[in-house]
Amino acid sequence: MIVAAALPGIPEVRAGVDLAELLVEAAGMLADGDVLVVAHKIVSKAEGRTVALDDVEPGERAVELAAEHGKDARLVEVILRESSAIVRSRPGVLICRTPHGFVCANAGVDASNAGATDELVLLPIDPDASARALRARLRALTGVAPAIVIADSFGRAWRVGQCDVAIGIAGLAPVDDWRGRPDGAGRPLQATMIAVADAAAAAADLTRSKDSREPAVLVRGLERHVTDGDGPGAAALVRAREEDLFL
């Protein structure tokens, strides 16, 4: 059984805040085996990964692309800075690959829920490191180390709508790898790798509404996927460039 519940009462997060303290206060009792799914926005804000739109000087390419796409050239400039490649584009849509290897709209640059109207929230520079640091700080504060999943809403190829996925992980198996293990009928499964951390992110997102300001969700029931060590992180969920058929 899985139980997921949004944590109440997390205040607006500013740069430099101790996120672990806010989470402990909101969560109350935490236990080993718990998973905390945290919206990347509060992690990015705590880390100062925001940009004031007014401070951005768009370059030539940004100005061109912005005209083509009907977007603010300063926003496009920031998207370009946060991208290692533009994977696809068409009017109004920029699908980017980030330096982490994530493929998502606008390189994860987000204006919504950013606090001030003219502020953009970027992805953390190293979301796995952010997750590990948050877990270590929780362990220091409470003596227990819940797994951390940092989540963002990504669109998908072929399917309408967004699903939350894990962009940073500490202490949760990114995948449950069944390759070579027997199924219920005893036959070896050939390609089965369940993206546990992505599923946890998606499950967490179901607990809240987009206007609810509940950026953290406690998920219980995933103990069998929670590990003592921090593990390979969400980096293990990025398909290698040379194996990807859709770049």
Taking CB under 8 A as the criterion, which residues in 194-213 touch its own copies?
194-196, 198-200, 202-203, 205-207, 210-213
Q: What gap in Å lies between CA 46 and CA 53, rounded to an integer?
A: 18
Contacts of 129 (CB under 8 A, 6+ apart): 168
Rounded CA-CA distance 29/155 in Å is: 34
The C-alpha torsion from 114 through 163 and 211 to 105, rounded to 10°, is: 30
- Near its own copies by CB under 8 A, which window of 14-22, 47-55, 56-64, 188-196? 188-196
Contacting its own copies within 134-173 (CB under 8 A)? 153, 155-165
29 binds its own copies (CB under 8 A): no
User: From residue 89 to residue 108, what is the string marking binding to its own copies with x (rule CB under 8 A)?
Assistant: -x--x-x-----xxx-x---
Of these, 124, 174, 231, 233, which contacts its own copies (CB under 8 A)?
A: 174
On the CB side of 71, CA atoms within 13 Å amount to: 27
Dist CA 152 CA 174 (whole Å):
15
Residues 58-77 contacting its own copies, CB under 8 A: none
CB closer to its own copies, 51 vs 133:
51
Which residue's CB is nearer to its own copies, number 117 or number 143?
A: 117
CB of 143 to its own copies, least distance (A): 26
Query: Do 34 and 142 form a contact (C-beta atoms < 8 A)?
Result: no
DSSP 8-state class, residue 233: -
3 state SS of 144: coil
We find the least distance from the C-beta atom of residue 100 to its own copies, in angstroms, to be 11
Answer yes or no whether residue 8 interacts with its own copies by CB under 8 A.
no
Buried b (16+ CB within 10 A) or exposed e, 205-239: bebbeeeebbbbbbbeebeebbeeebbebbeebbe
Question: Does 14 engage in binding with its own copies (CB under 8 A)?
Answer: no
Residue 5, interface with its own copies (CB under 8 A)? yes
Q: Is residue 247 part of the contact set for its own copies (CB under 8 A)?
A: yes
